[in-house]
């Protein structure tokens, strides 16, 4: 292994990969997934949707059911053990070795590879500089803050010049404010490295910020894969629409009388409120002033609730009746193109 060589990005190709647990439960339905070389793909979904299982299959800690195949570039790694796969993994909770200090943690993969002490020391310092932790090389890992641990775990994973980088909920263990900052840092670092990367997260915003593309998963299935914008504007299923941002759905005779369709679905900001007497009407239940906009909770006459976002100068108050017009709407009859 030559340490000076730049990371060469490889694509990841999963074909017909399924996972069934020994007790017969299906964790993953057979799926095909391609991650382009140098791309960051975010696997997004609620807990239990199979995203972590999918990640563990890519690094080899779980085997795919018979018939599945995983390739890194042109190299079939389906039956290659995790030790030999050359993947860098950042585990949820980071899994730093408690009996080693920061530098020993980062250098462990190199030590295993028999890299000599001097080269190893250089490489470790290089990695620590990259994550801005060079001052903490000798520190014990239990004396690190959450954010520092996350960066040590990342440095340890990329020190071995992995063929692909896998991150399992890399920011979940951190508090909200720190998470915001590290998201930006991590996005910048991944871009700088140019390595093919898969990130598992249950946080929609995190997925959209870090992923060049986002794959939404639900109940062991891949629901949709695409750029964040595409997923948001043209969700392929109600699940995706609901998981990526808020989606309101209205249906029934009140809706069909005015719009001639069975149901309407729209984002809260895709609605305009106006004086009553003009189209579909609703009653304002609550009004929340949020600075950049006002959030209204409304109900139709038949009791269906929904949410609308309006400009911060919107005059409407709770108890008032307003007309609602859709600026840009999708209906159930005309599903959005994928």
Partner 1 sequence: MGRRAWLIIAIPAITLFVAFWLLPMAKLAGLGAATPQGMDVSAYWLVLTQPRYWQSLANTVGLSLAATLATLAIALPVSRFLARHPAFPGRRVLMSLLIFPLAFPGVVVGFLVILATGRQGVLNTLAKALSGEPMVLAYGMAGLFIGYLYFLLPRTIGVLMAAVEGIDRHWLEAAQTLGASPWRRFVDIELPALTSALTAAGAMCFATAMGAFGTVFTLGTKIDVLPITIYDEFTNYANIPVAAALSVVLGLATWAALYIANTLANRSASAR
* List 16, 32, 113, 227, residue binding partner 1 (CB under 8 A): 113
d(CA 200, CA 58): 12
The reply to whether 170 sits near partner 1 by the rule CB under 8 A is no
d(CA 278, CA 172): 47
The reply to whether 95 sits near partner 1 by the rule CB under 8 A is yes
Q: Which stretch binds partner 1 (CB under 8 A): 31-39, 86-94, 131-139, 233-241?
A: 86-94
Three-state DSSP state, 118: helix
Nearer to partner 1, 98 or 315 (CB): 98
Nearer to partner 1, 117 or 184 (CB): 117
* List 70, 77, 103, 160, residue binding partner 1 (CB under 8 A): 160
The reply to whether 154 sits near partner 1 by the rule CB under 8 A is no
The reply to whether 112 sits near partner 1 by the rule CB under 8 A is yes
Q: Does the CA dihedral 243-309-206-330 come out positive or negative?
A: positive
Q: What are the two backbone dihedrals, phi and then psi, of residue 80, each rounded to the nearest 5 degrees?
A: -85, 130
| Nearest-5° Cα angle at 102, 100 to 105 | 55
The reply to whether 79 sits near partner 1 by the rule CB under 8 A is no
> Rule CB under 8 A: which of 287-326 touch partner 1?
none
Nearer to partner 1, 33 or 89 (CB): 89
Half-sphere exposure of residue 230: CA atoms within 13 angstroms, side-chain side: 13
Q: Which stretch binds partner 1 (CB under 8 A): 11-19, 88-96, 183-191, 275-283?
A: 88-96
The reply to whether 20 sits near partner 1 by the rule CB under 8 A is no
Q: Which stretch binds partner 1 (CB under 8 A): 34-42, 81-89, 124-132, 284-292?
A: 81-89
Q: 């999918």: which residue's tokens?
A: 54
Please state the closest distance from residue 37 (CB atom) to partner 1, in A. Answer: 20
User: Around Cβ 133, how many Cβ atoms within 10 Å?
Assistant: 21
The reply to whether 108 sits near partner 1 by the rule CB under 8 A is yes
Nearer to partner 1, 62 or 223 (CB): 62
Q: Which stretch binds partner 1 (CB under 8 A): 5-13, 44-52, 96-104, 324-332?
A: 96-104
The reply to whether 85 sits near partner 1 by the rule CB under 8 A is yes
DSSP E strands, the chain: 12-20, 26-35, 40-44, 69-72, 75-76, 87-90, 164-168, 197-201, 213-218, 221-226, 248-251, 263-266, 271-274, 281-289, 294-300, 305-310, 321-326, 330-331
334 forms beta bridges with: 331
Which residues contribute to the site for partner 1 (CB under 8 A)? Answer: 59-61, 82-85, 87-89, 91-93, 95-100, 108-109, 112-113, 156-157, 160
């Amino acid at each position: 292994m030559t340490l000076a060589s730049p990371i060469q990005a490889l694509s990841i190709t999963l074909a017909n990969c399924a996972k069934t647990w020994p007790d017969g439960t299906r964790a993953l339905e057979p799926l095909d997934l391609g991650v382009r070389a140098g791309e960051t793909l975010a696997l997004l979904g609620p807990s239990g949707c199979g995203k972590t299982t999918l990640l563990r299959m890519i690094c080899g800690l779980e085997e795919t059911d018979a018939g599945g195949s995983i390739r890194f570039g042109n190299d079939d790694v389906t039956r290659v053990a995790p030790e030999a796969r050359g993947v860098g993994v950042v585990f949820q909770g980071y899994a730093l070795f408690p009996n080693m200090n920061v530098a020993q943690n980062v250098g462990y993969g190199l030590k295993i590879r028999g890299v000599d002490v001097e080269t190893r020391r250089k490489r470790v310092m290089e990695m620590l500089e990259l994550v801005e932790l060079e001052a903490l090389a000798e520190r014990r890992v239990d004396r690190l803050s959450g954010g520092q641990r996350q960066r040590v775990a990342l440095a340890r994973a990329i020190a071995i010049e992995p063929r692909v980088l896998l991150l399992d909920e890399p920011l979940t263990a951190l508090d909200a404010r720190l998470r915001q900052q590290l998201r930006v840092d991590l996005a910048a670092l991944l871009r700088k490295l140019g390595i093919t990367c898969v990130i598992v997260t249950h946080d929609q915003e995190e997925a959209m910020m870090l992923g060049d593309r986002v794959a939404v998963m639900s109940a062991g299935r891949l629901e949709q894969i695409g750029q964040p914008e595409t997923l948001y504007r043209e969700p392929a299923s109600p699940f995706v629409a609901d998981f990526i941002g808020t989606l309101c759905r209205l249906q029934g005779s009140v809706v069909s009388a005015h719009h001639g369709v069975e149901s309407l679905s729209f984002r809260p900001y895709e609605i305009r409120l106006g004086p009553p007497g003009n189209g579909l009407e609703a009653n304002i239940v609550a009004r929340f002033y949020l600075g950049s906009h006002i959030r209204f909770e409304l109900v139709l006459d038949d009791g269906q609730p929904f949410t609308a976002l309006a400009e911060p100068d919107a005059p409407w108050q709770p108890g008032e009746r307003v007309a609602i017009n859709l600026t840009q709407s999708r209906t159930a009859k005309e599903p959005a193109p994928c």
